[in-house]
Structure 1
């Protein structure tokens, strides 16, 4: 069931709650150009043991397009969702853009989280010029060119994404993402660099990497682990959207980490 939650600026965020609200909360944050539907395999796996909350990141899915966006704004949206549902402490799992959002959350308010899982992400993703150039291009020309080649970044050659229902649904979500919402997130990522902030994080973190990921590599995950006081590394044989390409391995790695840090 979808519920719109207004953030601190009065903008609507689409949220989706599954499982038992009396159990520990696990909130999932999607990647750039996707929506909450990318977490289908995780919802099915974790909803028996957790209060699972998914949401469409601003500018994605059914959430409001907010053009002036920073990484701190993305983190504030998560706090606003947790506050709406009266969740004082949660587990967080974000992938790619959602992963670096998790790092920002850990910097801003570690007391709100029992654990942070940073999947297929980095403390700095790409470079500012490339992100700003992509934002300008998408605003001018739309997302068609990116949609046409996205499978080469999201999935490895060994994954049959054509016959995977969640993969196809996720590619479709990119095709219907609002260009201005996508561009705003690109600009947020252009200005996001948390490498120097890792050392101050005081919450257990898991860098969950895809061994075949060409976008945010295992080296990026190792950097997080080396510079974050309470961090562990897990690698699954998949590309950038490892939760879709290797859901069983992803779920097992995440579940093992969550078990170590129960609320």
Structure 2
């Protein structure tokens, strides 16, 4: 599909077309395959829609900088292209910020929202500007080790789990400009003033060993979103859906189940 500013995005759908739609939004430096461990479970109840954010995976890489608003509009355009008026939304890290933006700015488009391993404000402007400059000057190889340390818990890295190599290889293949332009978006993205506008039922999830958006950030986000539920995945790092795939899938499926009351876990 093509966005209103002419950028081609890769989109994939799984599950029955008549099922309730669930839009998945990937993190910085990954693509729609981030969700592979969960798709089979979620398609039992939902039509799963996932896409590569601009600058990622097989989507087009326009020149940066990008903005959170632009990334949020991309998400809405994916829904528009598929004729979906309203969807549940689940995003992780940068994808979580995009999901939060959509829920705050287009509440009529969102049923329930899952904000995984994210925050209303991720990191500092200086850190993101520095990383963007490093990637533009030296390429992706210069940041892969740093990113993997922040993506995965020490225990997961020590076990040399397959996800480590898969994500590492994906980072090395990533387009430097797409990655850097997304860092530019993160440098100034701050939804602390808009999170209270979220009307959708919300679940905030975080791995207890998340080094990028630690539990303290997730709890702060929970406190900002009215009535948000909260869950921690014990021992998981930033990409909690890869470290604890079955538990992650279950928590989201339970939260999205009709007519359920949700409490902190």
TM-score normalized with structure 2 length: 0.93
Alignment check: 8 A CA contact 1:16 1:53 kept: yes
Between Structure 1 and Structure 2, how many residues are aligned? 258
Counterpart of 1:108 in structure 2 is 105
Alignment check: 8 A CA contact 1:161 1:168 kept: no
Deviations 1:105-143 (A, max 9, x none): 111101111111110000000011110111111000001
Alignment check: 8 A CA contact 1:99 1:120 kept: yes
Identify the match of residue 34 of structure 2 among 33, 38, 44. Answer: 38
Counterpart of 2:156 in structure 1 is 159
Matched, 1:202 2:199: yes
Change (3 A) 1:170 1:261: farther
Alignment check: 8 A CA contact 2:65 2:182 kept: no
In 1: Cα distance, 2:99 partner to 2:164 partner:
23
User: 1:126 is paired with a residue of what secondary structure?
Assistant: coil
- Using the TM superposition, give the Cα deviation of residue 261 of structure 1 relative to its aligned residue in structure 2, in angstroms: 6.0
User: 1:6 is paired with a residue of what secondary structure?
Assistant: coil
Counterpart of 2:254 in structure 1 is 256
Counterpart of 1:51 in structure 2 is 47
In 1: Cα distance, 2:229 partner to 2:35 partner:
22
User: 2:229 is paired with a residue of what secondary structure?
Assistant: strand
Structure 1 stretches lacking a partner, 5+ long: none
In 2: Cα distance, 1:173 partner to 1:54 partner:
17
Query: What is the root-mean-square deviation of aligned Cα atoms in Å?
Result: 1.5
TM-score normalized with structure 1 length: 0.94
Counterpart of 1:133 in structure 2 is 130
User: 1:106 is paired with a residue of what secondary structure?
Assistant: helix
